[in-house]
Chains A and B, each alone.
Chain A
Amino acid sequence: MTPLLRTSGLMVRYGPVEAVRGIDFEIGEGEIVAFLGANGAGKSSTLNALVGLVPVHSGTVEFLGRDITHDPAETLAPAGLTLVPEGRRVFNTLSVAENLRMGAYGIREKAAVAEAWDRVYDLFPILAERRGQFAGTLSGGQQQMLAIGRAMMSGPKLLLLDEPSLGLAPLIVEQVFELLVRLRGAGVTLGVVEQNVARSLQIADRGYVLSGGRIVGQGSAAELATSEALSGAYLDG
């Protein structure tokens, strides 16, 4: 297993508050890795630090063998690393097609953009139907599809997802998880932060359990499903 992404001693601070207190983890090529833990455990801060949305206080992040710790956010999507942010955050005032166009911002060749568009529309036929519609008028589930589709436009090697099932109807949640499995089948490596622990352990290969900004448990999905670290992490908050 080649690690696609590796952190060592990753630390994130917001002023005096330590959100992530020095964590080491790896995401291997072709894996689905779940990050689990209660609210405030530091999961979102970790993902945001990986993509440069919040500064890394100390420690290092390596992607494809290169140190990207302090790379600005805008350089990472073109390098193959992107994030589907928590709460979807589609551009409400842009059309579906424009949202997707922004996802492929780093791609210059018109033909390559058209190809990415086709790929995403194949993945999400509903987006093709609604391409001219403002993203703000889509349902929550469709917005999540758009947020994932937008991230897929850049052709990422590693796709990070922050709470992709949050606030969605159960049926849609199921579709999202099925989609993640399909994306992995298409060769994308996934790092997923999820509240839906049971369902994410069903699709994940491995997982890390975070609590209070530290990793308190790790292992294969099967091991974690029965582990005490996991139940402890949620009980302790």
Chain B
Amino acid sequence: MDFFLQQTVNAVSLGGTYALLALGLAVVFSIMGLINFAHGELMTIAGYVLMYCGLAGLPFVLSIGLAIGAATVAAVLMERIAFRPVRNASGATMLITSFAVSMVLQVLFQNLISVRSQPVLLPPLLTDSVRMFGFVIGVNKLLSIAATVVMLIFLDWFMKRQKTGIAMRAAAEDFAVARLMGIRANSVIAGAFALSGLLAGVAAVLWVSQRASVDPLMGFTPVLKAFIAAILGGLGSLRGAVAGGFLLGFIEIYLAAYLPPEWQEFRDPIGLVLVVIVLLIRPNGLIPAPALKAHKV
């Protein structure tokens, strides 16, 4: 029982990080129909900022703020420089553009920083663990769950209570009519990227705080997982992204915990088979987006 609870905490922690990443992808996809493969590099940027801040001896709380801020600014710049010129192009063109952005950034990290993994200094508190309800939980796991909850509450508030958030939902449903209302295409898209950068930044801090290192390809794996989560939940659906993220986290952690040792090698394929089974039953995902068509601006 204790083991199960322990693994459940791990699953919520990992699933929450996937959920934040999948949300960032979904926000952008729902508004402009772009699947942003360079989302992972936003994470990597935040990771390097954490590393440099650690080397500079900045307090960790300040480093976190700078890392998240850097990912947010980078996301807005990415839109302005790379995606705005292809905004009205086909989905395939936008997808290829995002691959290009991703690769350019990876090469820059490799050449300007290092090809190899770099250690990130973390406060000792993060690697501590606490005893709760009779079992041991890592502080980083608890903080990660808390951060995810705070972000989800913030996002829900923003999307429902803030004019800009409501406009994003409106634009995701019918961009042409949203423009008729006076909602500016440029600002709503820039806003969506800023939000996705913010989410990637938070996810990066959580990711790095579990691993204490950063490398040029750091963002690739988690964002690939987040894609799977977003599709599992229903591409473009925000609630779906959260559901898909958590479900994928649970699948991965429970497989790692309960598969017999001789099967562990096949953990990822088995996880993906489970995802495919879910999609066979619900082809549009767990909570499909209301409008599957992405309106062009």
Contact = CB atoms under 8 A, between A and B. Distances in A.
Interface in B163-192: 163, 166-167, 169-170, 173-174, 176-185
A94 B177 contact: no
A72 interface: yes
Interface in B11-61: none
A52 B180 CA distance: 8
Contacts of B170: 91, 94, 98-99, 102
Nearest to A85: B177
B290 interface: yes
A93 interface: yes
The residue among B174, B177, B178 with the most chain A CB atoms within 10 A of its own CB is: B177
Given A73-B176, A101-B163, A105-B163, A94 B182 contact: no
A18 interface: no
A94 B166 contact: yes
21 contacts: A53-B179, A53-B180, A73-B179, A74-B180, A74-B183, A74-B185, A76-B182, A77-B182, A91-B178, A92-B290, A92-B291, A93-B290, A93-B291, A94-B166, A98-B169, A98-B170, A101-B163, A102-B181, A105-B163, A136-B290, A150-B181
Contact of B167 (A53, A75, A102): A102
A77 B181 contact: yes
A72 B173 contact: no
Contact of A106 (B173, B182, B290): B182
B166 A101 contact: yes
A78 B291 CA distance: 27
A136 B169 CA distance: 14
A98 B166 contact: yes
Contacts, number: 73
Interface residues of B, number: 19
Interface string A135-172: 01000000000000010001000000000000000000
Contacts of A103: 181
A93 B169 contact: yes
A182 interface: no
A61 to B, nearest CB: 16
Given A101-B166, A105-B163, A105-B167, A94 B180 contact: no
Interface of A: 51-53, 72-78, 82-83, 85, 89, 91-94, 98-99, 101-103, 105-106, 136, 150, 154
A105 B169 CA distance: 13
Contacts of B169: 91, 93-94, 98
Given A74-B180, A91-B170, A106-B181, 19 more contacts: A53-B180, A74-B185, A77-B182, A85-B176, A85-B177, A85-B180, A89-B174, A89-B177, A91-B169, A91-B177, A92-B173, A92-B291, A93-B291, A94-B170, A98-B166, A102-B181, A105-B163, A150-B181, A154-B182
A150 B178 CA distance: 11
A51 B179 CA distance: 10
A154 B291 CA distance: 26
Contacts of B176: 53, 73, 85
B6 to A, nearest CB: 38
Contacts of B177: 85, 89, 91
Contacts of B181: 74, 77, 82, 102-103, 105-106, 150, 154
B238 to A, nearest CB: 10
A51 B180 contact: yes
Contact of A73 (B167, B173, B180, B291): B180
A75 B186 CA distance: 12
A102 B179 contact: no
Nearest to A88: B177
Contacts of B166: 94, 98, 101-102
Which of B166, B180, B182, B290 has most chain A Cβ within 10 Å?
Answer: B180
Contacts of A150: 181
A75 B176 CA distance: 13
B290 A102 contact: no
A185 B34 CA distance: 46
Nearest to A136: B290
Interface string B271-295: 0000000000000000000110000
Q: Which of A83, A93, A101 has the most CB atoms of chain B within a 10 A radius of its CB?
A: A93
A105 B173 contact: no
Given A91-B173, A92-B173, A102-B178, A74 B184 contact: yes
Nearest to A101: B166
B176 to A, nearest CB: 6
